[in-house]
Homo-oligomer: A and B are copies of this chain.
Amino acid sequence: MIGIFDSGVGGMTVARAVEQLCPGFPLIYLGDLARTPYGSKSPAMITEYSHRNTEFLLRQGAKLIIIACNSAASAASGFLRSHYHQSIIDVIFPAVAKAAAVSLNGRIGVIGTRATINSGVYEQRLQESRPECRVYSQACPLLVPLVEEGWMERRETKMIVKKYLHPLRDKQIDALILGCTHYPLLKKIIAPRIGCSVHIIDSSVEVALHLKQILDADPDLRTALYAPDIPSRFFVSDTPSPVHGLADKIFGRTVLLEKTDV
């Protein structure tokens, strides 16, 4: 099975994209609601939580791990890759590759949580991928709580998005990475505020496309993970009420969330 973890339910945008682009590959999802959000916490704490989440997924039989949380990917992917022999895919690399490929003028924007932006991981990987590019980053710490409240269409959310995007507006960026798995749910209000000519890169879709390429290129891994009769399972480490609605909204159907201790 394919293991996916996130600090909460935002990473379900990744699970949903994987389900659509790689049908027949069952998932084990873990949303660490008991400790959510990660984006405001320290790299050491995020690494500790990511370690525990990975242990849980491997115990459940995961053969490949997707870090479906940008904050966790930015803080903990190095540690997890050095610690486990299993393949570890994170949401950052595929989005970086896409941005480096589609940007014509090499001016790329990144928005994310404070943990993700402070880590500098997007700047670093974009500059490795395309050394001449200019990267403009903006932490948007209030967007996760706004999405989790279901305030995707509210006037206040639009104003806050506009305020956060304002410093990027003058930079002539032509690509913007949504560096948080919650942000695809705000794509409709982000797009007109950053400008129609800016290519918006949804890290959830890119990581699913990247997984598809890996599976296409590795028949043994594909065979090991393909099991269309096994249903995906979704675990959460705590179960507050409003989150159920968000998971269902992301999937467009009722999702059974199973409570587990991590």
Contacts and interface: CB of A to CB of B under 8 A. Distances in A.
Contacts of A44: 238
Interface stretch (A60-68, A141-149, A174-182, A224-232): A141-149
B240 A148 contact: no
A213 interface: no
A191 interface: no
A238 B141 contact: no
Contacts of A35: 34-35
Nearest to A146: B142
A238 B160 contact: no
Number of identical monomers bound together in the oligomeric complex = 2
A151 B156 CA distance: 13
Interface size class of A (residues with CB under 8 A): 20 to 34
Interface string A28-56: 00000111100011101100000000000
Contacts of A45: 34, 238
A252 interface: no
A36 B146 CA distance: 17
A103 interface: no
Nearest to A44: B238
Interface in A123-178: 141-142, 145-146, 148-149, 151, 155-156, 159-160, 163
Interface of A: 33-36, 40-42, 44-45, 114-115, 118, 141-142, 145-146, 148-149, 151, 155-156, 159-160, 163, 238-242
